Structures are given as structure tokens and as C-alpha cells.
Chain A
């Protein structure tokens, strides 16, 4: 600290950023929670006129597609947290210990989709998965992948994983690079084989990295909207809707119900999910620190 006491000119450094953060992040965040108790649509200028209590929440509670969107969101988050993390762990270990000549190039290629816009990625896959797309030509099938109610969410998970796997991979790789090699050398002397080394030394040592990757993927899973938007628009019917896209459908979509209040109550649910997870994270962290 430069100064022993608070000085007024400190505010000159802080206030510009704080002002924008408060006005364009905290204020709308709080307003969003309040708006979920009001009824209003896109064309109204005064928002807080029709107080409807819990009507918006009752509306989504009785909406079968809301529950599908909630289930799909959890499915997508599950895919990101477990499938994506698992594959990334395997790939990072394979590249790191595999003595590849071009390991930097391999990492760059797998990482590359992360820098693309999810919109571009979604459109690339959309053509591949269409009924006359190349996937069916390769497999010799004539299947409409994106109109399958049971498969569509898994395809979205696959495309999401395809895009973000490299992100988890490079974080794992950083974890591997800072690994304590003494244990590995000791196990060499003990004559451990490669699978024993991976499963009883490397994977347990990477546990802190695994937790970090899981948290990042969990946040990313809740964010996914763009890929759903271009790949299926929530269809067939609303069977691939996630909370974020259902919020969009209720409040902004052309041809949607244009019920902003209901959209705000969906935002409330997303907010509640993230908050619950954040609190759980703090509690778990404290418990780990105690032990």
C-alpha cells in the first residue's frame, strides 16, 4: 500500500471502472430479479406498472418446455464438466508423455476451434449434420440427426465439446508442466508401468487442475447459447432448448410470445443455479481447507 490512509484521489482511479460496472452490470442484474415479478412486453416503455407476483414463475413452472430446457441445460453442463474434462485429461496426458515430435503443433490444432466464433462453429457443423450432409454420406445413412428428439442434445454437446476441448487441454497441459517430477522418477525406480503411473500418480496429482477445469466448463456450459441458436434454434419443437435460449425465445425471438417478464423469470432461474453452485463451491473449498 502506498498510503497509510484512504485518500480522496484514490477514487479517481477506481470510479470510472466502478461506475461502468455498477451501471451496466450490477444495476441490470438487480433489475432483472425485480422484473421477473412484473408483466411487460417489448413495446412498453414503463416496465414496473403491472405487478403480477409469482405469475411469471407459475407460468414457467407449468410450461413443459421450461422443464425440458432446464433438463437440457443440466445435460449440457454435465457433458462439459465430465465428458469434455475427461477427454481433455486423456489427451493432455497422451500428448505430454507420448514423446510426439510435433506436440506444439498438435496442441495448436486441437486448440484452434476455441478462437473461432461459436456461430461459425455451429454453422460448420449444421451443414455436416443435415440430412443431405457429409456425415450421412460417410456413414451411408439417411438420418435427420438434428430433428431427433433423443439425439439432438447429445449432438449439441458434441459440437460444444469439439469447440472447447482445446481450452481444457491447454489448462491441463500447464498443470502437467508444473507437475512434481520426483514422484515419477521414484516410481521409475519402483518399476511402475505406464498405466500405473498415469492412474496412481499423474491423475491424482492433477486433481487441483481437474477441479479448475470442471469449474470453468461448468460456467461455460451455462453460457452456451450461440451453438444452440444456429444449430437448432431450440428445435425440434422446443426439445433442444436450453435456459439461455428459452429466455431469448420468451423475450426477443421473432414469432415468440414476446413476454419479457417471463424471460426475466427464466433469467432468475439461471441466476439461482449459478448462485447455488458458487455457494457450494465456497463451502466445499472451506471443507477441503479444514482437512
Chain B
């Protein structure tokens, strides 16, 4: 259906050869600009250390080798006391606990905003929406001292709670909108059948809210997995560095680093995300679009 519609009003555009050529040239140009930096970094990472400075057409290595990837692991551990497996483990721990915590609390709070009554509801909601626009760096200094005061600085908990405070409003925002779109007849039927509010949430709303929850999971996963400044400042102990923090250390260290090792280090962080994206790309794009449209 969508496709036939598209071709329908694409018809006059099809008839114009200028438009046809223009679109091809422009899109090709942008595709090259997007792909080249990533492909080039990948190319650097699979060259043998001896031939790292030369390649055919900038991209095709003279000698393929995975030596740089071995070097990247050892360089990180020996020079900077960070290890890639450890970084990934830390990121997985921080990301999963943040996402689970934020989603769970947001579901309950969003339900109270959409289906229950309490004083000052709308003004509280507006404060939450307003806080979404604030850059995370504004909270950096007071959060740092707050986490010291609680005695949890340099622990996973510190970063998870900081993320939760920052991201819970987004979760509530998306889920409330979705809960309110669910037809009233369904909840009213549940009430007639004598369901408690908790059963209503668990049995009726949650099964219907799966797409909204998926959207939230994707947005929160990206935000927490890629987050840098909180993770860097609240977890300064190298054994609990997340992937972006460890990578930034490798990439900006004062020690000499071979360009092949450098590129392999960057690719180690990009390739897993690329694989996940390849599998779930539809959900990623739909999730981020939906997240944006809810603003």
C-alpha cells in the first residue's frame, strides 16, 4: 500500500531527467561521505603493521592482517591499564541495569500519570518535560559531590542512578503518551470485571504497550551505552571504565600509538554496534523516530 502510493506521486518526479540525475549524484556523494571514514578506519585496522601507511586507492590493503587487533588488546592493558573484555563487561552491566531500572520505574510512574489522580500532576509532568532539554553537563558538578556524599562514587551504582535521574523523564514521557492512546473501553471493561489497578496495568496496558516499551529500550540503550562524561567522571577507576571512556583514553593518550592499533581499537567498539544495528535496524530507526516525535 505504502509503496504504491509512493510511486504514484513519484510519477512526475520520474519524468524529469534532471531530477533523476540530480538525486543520484547527490545521494551517491553523501553515501560516500558517510561510508568512507568508517571503511577507511576498517582498512587501516586490517593492514599488517609494516604496510599500514600504504594501500591501493586509499582503501585496499597490500597485506591483510589481524595483528593490529592483537596489538590493540595488549596496548590497552599494558599502557593504560584498561582491557577491552573488561570495558565491554562494564558497559553491559551499566547499560542493562540502567535500562531495567529506568523502564520499570517509568512504567509505574507513567501509569500513575495516565490513569490515576494525584495533586499537582500536570505541573510535575511539565517540570519533567522541561528537564529533558537540559544538557547533562549542567548537573555534572553537584552530582559528583552528591555521589561522594552517598559514598557510591567510583561504583556502577553511581552512574546507574545518575542515568536514571536524567533519563526517567523520557521514559515517562513516551509511556504516558502511549498509555493514554489505549482505548478507554478496554480499561473500563477491566474495572467492571473487578480488576485492581495493578492487574489493569499488568494484564491490559502492558501487553498492549510492547511497541512503546521497545522504543524506550532502544533509546535508553543507545543513550547509556554511548554516554561518556558521567561515566568518565563518576567511574575514574580504570577497572570499571565503560567502552567510550576506555576508548577515549586509548585514542587521546600521550603515549605513542601505531595508527593500525589505534584504528583496531576504534573498530572493536564499532563492530559490535554495527552487528546489532544490522539485525535490529528497523527497530532502531522506528524507535528513534518515535522517540523524537513524542517531544
Interface residues of A (CB under 8 A from B): 1-7, 9-14, 16-18, 20-21, 23-29, 31-32, 35, 45, 47, 87, 90-91, 94-100, 106-120, 122-128, 134, 137-138, 162, 165-167, 170-171, 173-174, 177, 181, 184-185, 188, 192-195, 197, 212, 215-216, 219, 222-223, 225-226, 229-230, 233, 244, 247-248, 251-252, 260, 263-264, 267, 270-271, 274, 277-278
Cβ contact within 8 Å between A230 and B137: no
Cβ contact within 8 Å between B168 and A17: yes
Within the complex, the shortest CB–CB distance from B34 to chain A, in Å, comes to 6
Instruction: Please tell me which one of the listed residues B58, B164, B244 contacts residue A134 in the complex, with CB atoms under 8 A apart.
Output: B58
Question: Which of B64-72, B76-84, B116-124 contacts its partner?
Answer: B116-124
Encoded as 1 (CB less than 8 Å from any A CB) or 0, chain B from 1 to 13 comes to 0100111111111
- Taking CB atoms and an 8 Å cut-off, the chain B residues in 257-280 that contact chain A are 259, 262-263, 266, 269-270, 273-274, 277
The reply to whether the CB of B128 lies closer than 8 angstroms to some CB of chain A is: yes
Cβ contact within 8 Å between A170 and B288: yes
With A10-B118, A28-B146, A226-B228 already in contact, the answer to whether A17 and B14 are too (CB < 8 A) is no
Instruction: Please tell me which one of the listed residues A5, A13, A112, A184 contacts residue B112 in the complex, with CB atoms under 8 A apart.
Output: A13
Listed residue (A96, A115, A274) with the most chain B CB atoms within 10 angstroms of its CB? A115
CA distance A110 to B118 in the complex (A): 45
Cβ contact within 8 Å between B165 and A23: yes
Instruction: Please tell me which one of the listed residues B108, B131, B134, B285 contacts residue A14 in the complex, with CB atoms under 8 A apart.
Output: B108
The reply to whether the CB of B289 lies closer than 8 angstroms to some CB of chain A is: yes
Cβ contact within 8 Å between B138 and A24: no
Encoded as 1 (CB less than 8 Å from any A CB) or 0, chain B from 222 to 245 comes to 100110110001000000000110
**Which 10 pairs, one residue from A and one from B, show the smallest C-beta to C-beta distance?**
A24-B165, A17-B109, A28-B142, A98-B23, A13-B112, A117-B226, A31-B142, A17-B105, A25-B165, A123-B251
Cβ contact within 8 Å between A212 and B9: no
With A6-B117, A98-B27, A170-B288 already in contact, the answer to whether A229 and B13 are too (CB < 8 A) is no
CA distance A1 to B288 in the complex (A): 29
Chain B neighbourhood of A124, CB < 8 A:
37-38, 41, 266, 270
Within the complex, the shortest CB–CB distance from B125 to chain A, in Å, comes to 11
The reply to whether the CB of B61 lies closer than 8 angstroms to some CB of chain A is: no
CB<8 Å pairs between A and B, sample of 23: A16-B109, A20-B168, A32-B138, A47-B145, A97-B10, A99-B14, A100-B27, A115-B284, A118-B226, A119-B244, A122-B251, A124-B37, A128-B40, A195-B19, A215-B295, A216-B295, A225-B228, A226-B244, A229-B228, A248-B140, A260-B141, A264-B141, A267-B138
Cβ contact within 8 Å between A17 and B106: yes
Chain B neighbourhood of A96, CB < 8 A:
6
Chain B neighbourhood of A126, CB < 8 A:
251
Within the complex, the shortest CB–CB distance from A21 to chain B, in Å, comes to 5
Chain B neighbourhood of A12, CB < 8 A:
108
Residue of A nearest to B138 (CB): A267
CA distance A14 to B228 in the complex (A): 29
Within the complex, the shortest CB–CB distance from B228 to chain A, in Å, comes to 5
Instruction: Please tell me which one of the listed residues A2, A31, A32, A97 contacts residue B197 in the complex, with CB atoms under 8 A apart.
Output: A2
Within the complex, the shortest CB–CB distance from B279 to chain A, in Å, comes to 12
Cβ contact within 8 Å between A212 and B295: yes
Interface residues of B (CB under 8 A from A): 2, 5-14, 16, 18-20, 22-24, 26-27, 30-31, 33-35, 37-38, 40-41, 44, 58, 105-106, 108-109, 111-113, 115-119, 124, 127-128, 130-131, 133-146, 148, 161-162, 164-166, 168-169, 172, 187, 191, 197, 200, 222, 225-226, 228-229, 233, 243-244, 247-248, 251-252, 259, 262-263, 266, 269-270, 273-274, 277, 281, 284-285, 288-289, 292-293, 295
Number of A-B contacts (CB under 8 A): 302
Chain A neighbourhood of B113, CB < 8 A:
14
Chain B neighbourhood of A116, CB < 8 A:
226, 270, 273
CA distance A244 to B140 in the complex (A): 10
CA distance A204 to B230 in the complex (A): 41
Interface of A is mostly: helix
CA distance A263 to B122 in the complex (A): 33
Cβ contact within 8 Å between B116 and A123: no
Instruction: Please tell me which one of the listed residues B105, B115, B243 contacts residue A117 in the complex, with CB atoms under 8 A apart.
Output: B243
Cβ contact within 8 Å between B37 and A125: yes
Residue of A nearest to B184 (CB): A1
Chain B neighbourhood of A9, CB < 8 A:
197
Chain A neighbourhood of B148, CB < 8 A:
45
With A24-B161, A25-B166, A274-B135 already in contact, the answer to whether A194 and B266 are too (CB < 8 A) is no
Chain B neighbourhood of A229, CB < 8 A:
228-229, 248, 252
Cβ contact within 8 Å between A127 and B141: no
Cβ contact within 8 Å between B105 and A16: yes
Cβ contact within 8 Å between A110 and B138: no
Within the complex, the shortest CB–CB distance from B152 to chain A, in Å, comes to 11
Listed residue (B142, B270, B292) with the most chain A CB atoms within 10 angstroms of its CB? B142
Cβ contact within 8 Å between B11 and A222: no
CA distance A118 to B223 in the complex (A): 11
